[in-house]
Amino acid sequence: MTKQNEWTIGDLLSTSMAYWRGCALQAGVRLGVFTALDNERLNLSNLTCNLQSDERETELLVNALSSMGLLVKEFEYYSNSPAARDLLSQKSSRYMGHIILHHHHILDGWAQLDEVVKTGSPAEIRSYGEETERESFLMGMFKISTTNLK
């Protein structure tokens, strides 16, 4: 981005549409895409079988994750990028998925920011279960506090 207060049209559009990358990343973590792939190269049919997901919609998601550089697509096969294998597979000791899931859990509230500001009423957010939300937050914070983030 340019200097403070010198926003360009590109800066505005990039900021406005940044949510889709976060949502795709969060969906990939939530569904276990990166863990299912781990060190494997799987075709779409095998991946959807492992994820127990819809093939068409899974293809759209893994293609988005590929365009982001998190997955590698070679012909009909998908695999993790080195960073995804290292940081997004639950089989890795460097797994950062908990904090990403925490971000997913709080997304509903942020999406209602305009209404909260307008009315002064708290956001109505769905619950993923107190235990699930607590684990994601605590494990995410623990991982951040014990990891070199570079």
Listed residues 86, 108, 124: the one ending a domain:
86
52 and 79, same domain (yes or no): yes
54 and 26, same domain (yes or no): yes
Q: How confident is the model at residue 3 (pLDDT cuts 50, 70, 90)?
A: low
Write the single-letter amino acid at 126: R
143 and 106, same domain (yes or no): yes
Phi-psi region of 145 (alpha: psi -120 to 50; beta: other; left: phi over 0): alpha
| CA nearest to 61, candidates 36, 32, 20, 24 | 24
35 and 58, same domain (yes or no): yes
Domain extent for 67: 12-86
Average pLDDT of the segment spanning 31-59: 98
Average pLDDT of the segment spanning 82-106: 96
148 falls within a domain: yes
Q: How confident is the model at residue 146 (pLDDT cuts 50, 70, 90)?
A: confident
137 and 80, same domain (yes or no): no
36 and 80, same domain (yes or no): yes
3-class DSSP state of 134? helix
2 falls within a domain: no
31 touches 21 (CB < 8 A): no
150 falls within a domain: yes
The single residue listed with the structure tokens 């959807």 is 48
3 falls within a domain: no
5 falls within a domain: no
28 falls within a domain: yes
The tally of domains found in the chain comes to: 2
CB atoms inside a 10 Å sphere around CB 146: 7
Q: Per the structure block, which two tokens stand in for 119?
A: 């009315």
